[in-house]
Every structure is written in C-alpha cells, then in structure tokens.
C-alpha cells in the first residue's frame, strides 16, 4: 500500500482517461488524411480540442496541442511572438520563481531576458515588473516585450496576479504568456478574463497522460508568428508533426473530468490544512511557505529547521509515502530551490523544504497515513538530534 502525494510532479492517470486512450490506441489513420480512418481520428482530436478549450474558458480554435508544458512554454517564449516592429530588441520579463522551462528564456537570447523580483510570499513583485517595463519603454521605445508569469507556482502553490500583469503588459504594448500548467484543473482558468495572450497547459498534472500539453491563444493573438516546430503545418501551422492522437484524446478526457471536479478542490484544501495543522502542532518551528497568500488548494510546502529534505523524503518513501523536495529535482537529486531562494528563504531552511501535493484520488486516509509517517520520522529525527 503506497500513499502518493506528489500530484504536482505528475498525477496518476484517471481510469476513464486510460479507457479513452486504449480505444484510441486501437485505431489507425493520420488525422490529416482525407479517408474515413483519417477523418475518424481527426474527429477525436477535435473533440479533445473542445474539451481542453472548455477547461481554459476558450474556443477550440484557440487551442494548439504540443508535447507538453515544456514545449508549450518554449514555443511561446520567442521575440517573434511579441508585437514589435523590431523583434531583435524585444525583451522578456521573467519572475525568478518560474519553472525552469520558462527561466531558460525559450528563444530569447540570454541578454534579452530580465529577471523580475519575487516577494517573501512567493508572488511576483508587480512594482518591480512595472519599473522594469517603464525603463524598457524609455530606453527602447521601438521595442516591445513579453512578460511570462505562471498562474500558480509548482513548489509553493502561490497564485500569481496574472490579470494585473496582463493589464500592465497590454497597456504598454507588450504580450503576456501565462504558464498555467499547475493551475489548470485546480482553480478556474479563463484565458479571456485573465487577459493572457498565450497560456500553457499540460495533461499529466490533471490525470491525463505524460507528453501532451497545449498552448491556448488569447485575445490579440490570433496565431503564433514564430513557431518552434515547422514542417507539415499541423495545428493551424503552429505546431508541425503528426498529432499524438491517444495522448490528445487522453488530455481531452482528463480536461473534461477535471473541469467537472473543480468543486472538489475545496475538499482537498481542507485535507491539506489538516496536514499543516498537524505539522505545526508537532513542530511549532515549522515554516509553511506562501501560507499568507492565496495558494493552490492541493499544495503545501514546508520545512522544519534542522530536518533535511533529502533524508526526510527517503524515510517517508520507506514508510510508503511519496512526496518530493520543495526544490525541482528533475535529475533525481535534491537541488537548492530557486523558488525559495527568490523568496529570500535562507539556505538552511530551504534545504529542509518538502512539498506535499494532493490530487484527484487523494483521500482522508492518505492524509492520515502521511501525518502518521511524518510524525514518526520527525520524532525519530528529533530524538537523534537531541542525543547527538
Ligand atoms: N510549468 C510548470 C509550472 C510545471 O510545474 C511543469 C512541470 O512540472 C512544467 C511547466 C512542464 O510541463 P511538462 O512536464 O508537461 O513538460
């Protein structure tokens, strides 16, 4: 019996999604072919486009399927997608807490990427962004800009002021890209209300398959001017390559269910809060990051001074609980969290940060199992530390 509490890393595939994908896997035909087989799989792709569009509050024609959130981000982040007369002078403003796939700057050269500060709560500093935009407008009045701001942080869950940043970008002739990979399906996302020009999503954070995502174009962005993959002209010329039909079908089904179940997120917040209360009761020195700002309902990131995340994660894993370090650990190693660093958290405390993320199949029993195992590990460590 395992308890999986790492949904922000990847959420288990939902049964309905598996069934829909299995059906699609047994079909053949290229969605671009005009024969019956091709038309059949094309219809499935277009149905999934509707389902994903509905999750994002968009129209199907605004959705472009990609191979995941990373590809969506890298595709969006290009000076060519900024409404500029001279794209070579365009800059991209990126919060220091963004996902690595955004931090890398996409196709902006490193000298055209400008970091934006983050508050102690883990929220982008809008004043800093506003100052940077103003300076850029003064220095390079001919050149426009892009702001890339995530909807919700993957480590802390902190929600970001995307609508405000989008308004700021629009007022100054810029473009806003929003990485909504963690937010979609957990909080309502409406690209129209947000004002984002381009929004990224990923299937495997909502019970869909890994390796499929989408870009959603917003008002003022009828098409992408600079695409990452060109060739066959699929996806309205915005993303060439034969569509991943089973993956897209799975994404569509997961989006449909996630949208229906968004109301259940309140229940997850209750469970998350219970876990936090249990942690605070046992370890009064525990720090829960971004607790004083609006967060995703499913995420908690905390540290207990003196307890190393790496040791904690291994001990919890042995006890049957899967959680992750607060830091991004794409290499399998626990690295220093750039998010906590951007928030001004000291290295020692940050080294103890673990992230617990709940999801569609999380139950009260899972949280009870986590609290019991964490308390046990905590007490053991505390005793060892006292004896040392
Ligand atoms: N953006 C955020 C905020 C994420 O959390 C992730 C994945 O962890 C990604 C982008 C990348 O998405 P994908 O794994 O689909 O490439």
DSSP string, 12-52: PPPHHHHHHHHHHHT----TT--SHHHHHHHHHHHHHHHHH
Q: What is the pLDDT of residues 10-53, one digit of tens each?
A: 999 999 999 999 999 999 999 999 999 999 999 999 999 999 99
**Is it the case that residue 168 has pLDDT exceeding 70?**
yes
46-98 pLDDT tens trace: 999 999 999 999 999 999 999 999 999 999 999 999 976 677 889 999 999 99
**How many Å lie between the centroid of ligand 1 and the Cα of residue 71?**
9
More confident residue, 84 or 318: 318
For residues 154 and 327, what is the distance between their CA atoms, to the nearest angstrom?
A: 10
CB 213 less than 6 A from any atom of ligand 1? yes
- The CA dihedral of 316, 318, 319, 320, to the nearest 10 degrees, is 90
The CA–CA distances, whole Å, from 21 to 15, 52, 195, 243, 248 equal 10, 15, 33, 14, 9
Q: CB count, 10 Å around CB of 191?
A: 27
Active site residue 178: no
Instruction: Tell me, in angstroms, the distance from the centre of ligand 1 to residue 70's CA.
Output: 6
pTM of the model: 0.97
- Model confidence pLDDT, tens digit, residues 320-330: 999 998 765 55
Q: Is the CB of 101 under 6 A from ligand 1?
A: yes
Q: Ligand 1, atom 9: nearest CA belongs to which residue?
A: 69
pLDDT above 90 coverage of the chain, percent: 90
- Cα 85 to chain centroid distance, Å, stands at 31
Mean pLDDT of all residues in 274-301: 97
Residue from 386, 382, 289 nearest 339 by CA: 289
């Amino acid at each position: 019996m395992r308890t999986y509490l790492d949904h922000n890393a990847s959420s288990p595939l939902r049964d309905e999604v598996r069934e829909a994908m299995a059906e699609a896997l047994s079909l053949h035909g290229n969605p671009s072919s005009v024969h019956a087989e091709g038309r059949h799989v094309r219809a499935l792709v277009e149905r999934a486009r509707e389902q994903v569009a509905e999750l994002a509050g968009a129209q199907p024609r605004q959705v472009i399927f990609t191979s995941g959130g990373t590809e969506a981000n890298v595709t969006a982040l290009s000076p060519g997608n900024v409404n500029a007369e001279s794209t070579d002078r365009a800059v991209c403003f990126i919060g220091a807490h963004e996902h690595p796939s955004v931090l890398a700057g996409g196709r902006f050269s490193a000298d055209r990427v400008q970091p934006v500060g983050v508050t102690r709560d883990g929220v982008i500093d809008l004043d800093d962004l506003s100052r940077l935009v103003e300076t850029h407008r003064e220095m390079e009045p001919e050149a426009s800009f892009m702001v890339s701001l995530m909807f919700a942080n993957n480590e802390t869950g902190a929600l970001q002021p995307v609508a405000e940043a989008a308004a700021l970008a629009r007022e100054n002739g810029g473009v806003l890209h929003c990485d909504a990979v963690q937010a979609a399906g957990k909080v309502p996302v409406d690209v129209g209300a947000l004002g984002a020009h381009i929004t990224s999503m990923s299937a495997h954070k909502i019970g869909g398959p890994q390796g499929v995502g989408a870009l959603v174009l917003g008002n003022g962005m009828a098409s992408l001017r600079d695409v990452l993959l060109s060739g066959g002209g699929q996806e309205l010329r915005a993303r060439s390559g034969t569509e991943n039909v089973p993956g897209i079908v799975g994404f569509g089904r997961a989006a449909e269910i996630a949208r229906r179940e968004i109301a259940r997120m309140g229940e997850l917040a209750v469970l998350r809060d219970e876990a936090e209360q249990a942690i605070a009761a046992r370890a009064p020195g525990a720090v829960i990051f971004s607790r004083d700002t609006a967060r995703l309902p499913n995420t908690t990131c905390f540290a207990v001074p003196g307890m190393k995340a790496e040791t904690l994660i291994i001990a919890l894993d042995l006890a049957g609980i899967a959680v992750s370090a607060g830091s991004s650990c794409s290499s399998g190693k626990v690295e220093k969290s750039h998010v906590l660093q951007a928030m001004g958290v000291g290295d020692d405390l940050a080294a103890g940060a673990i992230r617990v993320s709940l999801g569609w199949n999380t139950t009260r029993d899972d949280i009870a199992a986590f609290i019991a195992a964490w308390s046990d590990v905590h007490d053991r460590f505390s005793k060892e530390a006292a004896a040392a």
